[in-house]
Amino acid sequence: MRRSRYHDTRHLLRVLSLGCVCSALTSAVVAQETVGKASEQQHPPLSSRDDISPAPAKVDVKPVARDEEIRKRLQSVLDATGWFADPRVEVSEGVVFLNGPVDSDELKKWAGDLARSTQDVVAVANRMEVLEAPVWDFSAAWGGLLVVWRDFIRSLPFFLFGLLILMLSAVMGLLATRGARTLLRRRVRASLLRNVMARGIGVLVFLFGVYLTMRISGLTQLALTVVGGTGLIGLAVGIAFRDITENFLASIFLSMQRPFATGDLIEVTGVTGYVQQLNVRTTILMTLDGNLVQIPNASVYKNNIRNFTTNANRREDFVVGIGYDDSINEAQEIAREVLSDHPAVLNDPEPSVLADSLGRATVNLRVYFWLNGRERSWLKVRSSVIRLVKLAFQKHGISMPDEAREVIFPQGIPVTVIDGSAADSQRPVAGEGRVPVSRHKELAAPSTRAEAGLYSEANVIEEQARQAQLLNGAENLLPVASGTPSSEKQTREPTT
């Protein structure tokens, strides 16, 4: 009896426990459905434009911070930044919903990251809308201008300091140029080379100042490029302007070596004339016929130069032919006496008359004599000597036959007349025993009116050169010769 009651009681307890469990499960299911419907009514489903954060790695069952505390904290932070016009924050069960307009995607992303970093936030639904800028919005341009202005103000002290250094380097370059020119004045004779070296030192000082300016401005790489590229630029310019560079270097060498000076009579590249100027490109000559000739310095430096003024004494010569029946010794002595008595012919070195060659109808004598080329014109002196030698030969009966004559009869030709008498046949022809005399009177003066004196034409050429406008444009790199007509007064012989 007791055993059956025990079993009945145990069965009743099992039934009651199962009923409690079922009622509890039913209540939980009903409660969950009610909560889900309430949440669906409170928050609509997420749209495609929502920025949904990834699921957290861990969700606390009992969060420390409540939803309202999270909302207030995020709302206060967004309002404090001032970046958002009307931010709205909603929090439900640890899920944060961000709403409101925003100016850029960066601000929207920043707000989402802020919400994710907040304590006890399970997920973030970023519903902020990025406002599109209007077509005529110049805020970006204005912002760029503000950035440029800000950078300019920030770099203004560096700019002023660099400008000061640049000015100081320019002044130091000028001082270095003048100091180098003064220091090299006694050591370097060539003015062009001295100026080039002095200016090169000044340019180096200025380039050093430019390098310091760029280093201060933060342009170190550009400064190294400029300094390193100076040599390459010079090489490229030298190749592009090869002829100009060649003439410039030739002018430096000519000004250093000084093979001639201003006023010297020279012959170069087949041109004879008085030197008027040597500039950085050409050498200017005034020819004997009064023409200005510009010769490139490279051609002058490469070719042979004949300077007729370096040595004052100049030797001239000419050839005169005498007949085969005349005495060579007598003709030589007559010519030598003429040379000895001539005022323009120098006795030291001594003049000479030499037998040069045997022609078809004449014996050719070559007459050598010296003269002062700085004071005398060799053309005029040569003309005077030829004239006086010819006159002396005529006076002394020295014949000067033409090569066109095959036979010379200085004593005449005996002619026999058949119809005449014997006396007439023995009589010599007219002119027998006499040398034909010219119908014109020969003058024995050293200089005639036609020769216009024996003085040098250098002063005439110099006067013509002063009238040339071309010489006023460039600097002359040559000194004035000490023996030029501008420094010596020429003595003119009277003409007859």
Report the predicted TM-score, pTM, of the whole model to 2 decimal places: 0.48
pLDDT exceeds 90 at position 328: yes
Is 312 domain-assigned?
no
Give the domain extent around 186: 139-240
In the structure, how many helices (H) and strands (E) does the chain have? Answer: 12, 14
Is 118 domain-assigned?
yes
What tokens appear for 379 in the block?
Answer: 């053309």
pLDDT exceeds 60 at position 286: yes
Judge if 151 and 202 occupy the same domain: yes
Judge if 179 and 192 occupy the same domain: yes
Rg of the chain in Å (alpha carbons): 59
pLDDT exceeds 60 at position 440: no
Is 256 domain-assigned?
no
Judge if 278 and 303 occupy the same domain: yes
Judge if 345 and 321 occupy the same domain: yes
What are the CA-CA distances from residue 187 to residues 179, 184, 197, 256, 280 (Å)?
Answer: 13, 5, 12, 12, 21
The pLDDT value recorded for residue 163 is 82
Judge if 332 and 443 occupy the same domain: yes
Q: What single-letter amino acid sits at 29?
A: V
The pLDDT value recorded for residue 49 is 53
> Among positive and negative, which fits the CA dihedral 230, 235, 239, 243?
positive
What tokens appear for 414 in the block?
Answer: 């005996």
- pLDDT tens sequence across 44-98: 454 545 566 565 555 556 666 788 888 898 899 988 988 888 899 999 888 999 9
Judge if 439 and 465 occupy the same domain: no
**Angle (nearest 5°) at CA 309 between 305 and 310:** 75
Using CA atoms, how far apart are residues 305 and 270, in angstroms rounded to an integer?
A: 10
Q: Tell me the pLDDT of the chain averaged across its residues.
A: 75
Query: If pLDDT is split at 50, 70 and 90, which confidence band does 161 have?
Result: confident
Domain boundary among 113, 130, 147: 130
What tokens appear for 250 in the block?
Answer: 């030739």
What tokens appear for 140 in the block?
Answer: 């970006």
Mean pLDDT score, 467-474: 58
What are the CA-CA distances from residue 193 to residues 186, 200, 216, 235, 284 (Å)?
Answer: 13, 10, 35, 20, 20
Candidates 87, 64, 63; CA nearest to 74 is 87
Judge if 403 and 474 occupy the same domain: no
Q: How many CA atoms lie within 13 A of 328 on its CB side?
A: 13
Mean pLDDT score, 109-137: 85
Residue 296, domain CATH: 2.30.30.60
Is 16 domain-assigned?
yes
Is 336 domain-assigned?
yes
* Other C-beta atoms lying within 10 Å of the C-beta of residue 291: 12
Residue pair 309/263 in contact by the 8 Å Cβ criterion: yes
Question: Which DSSP letter does residue 494 get?
Answer: P
Judge if 232 and 167 occupy the same domain: yes
Judge if 109 and 174 occupy the same domain: no
Residue pair 285/273 in contact by the 8 Å Cβ criterion: yes
Residue 390, domain CATH: 3.30.70.100
pLDDT exceeds 80 at position 401: yes
Domain boundary among 183, 205, 240: 240
Is 198 domain-assigned?
yes
Residue 103, domain CATH: 3.30.1340.30
Q: Which of 115-129, 182-196, 413-427 is least confident?
A: 413-427
- Phi first, then psi, for residue 141 (nearest 5°) are -65, -40
Residue pair 366/409 in contact by the 8 Å Cβ criterion: no
Residue pair 279/294 in contact by the 8 Å Cβ criterion: no
- Phi first, then psi, for residue 109 (nearest 5°) are -65, -35
Judge if 190 and 61 occupy the same domain: no
- pLDDT tens sequence across 171-198: 888 888 888 888 888 777 767 677 778 8
Mean pLDDT score, 159-172: 84
The pLDDT value recorded for residue 443 is 67
Kindly tell me the burial class for residue 253, based on how many C-beta atoms sit within 10 Å of its own C-beta (0-12, 13-18, 19 or more). Answer: middle
What tokens appear for 193 in the block?
Answer: 């080379």
The pLDDT value recorded for residue 231 is 57
Judge if 235 and 366 occupy the same domain: no
Strand ranges across the sheet with 271-278 = 292-296, 282-287, 271-278, 265-268, 305-307
The pLDDT value recorded for residue 152 is 81
**Angle (nearest 5°) at CA 384 between 383 and 388:** 120
Considering its fold, how many domains does the chain have in total? 5
Judge if 365 and 331 occupy the same domain: yes
Is 250 domain-assigned?
no
Place of tokens 């030797």: 315
Using CA atoms, how far apart are residues 363 and 320, in angstroms rounded to an integer?
A: 8
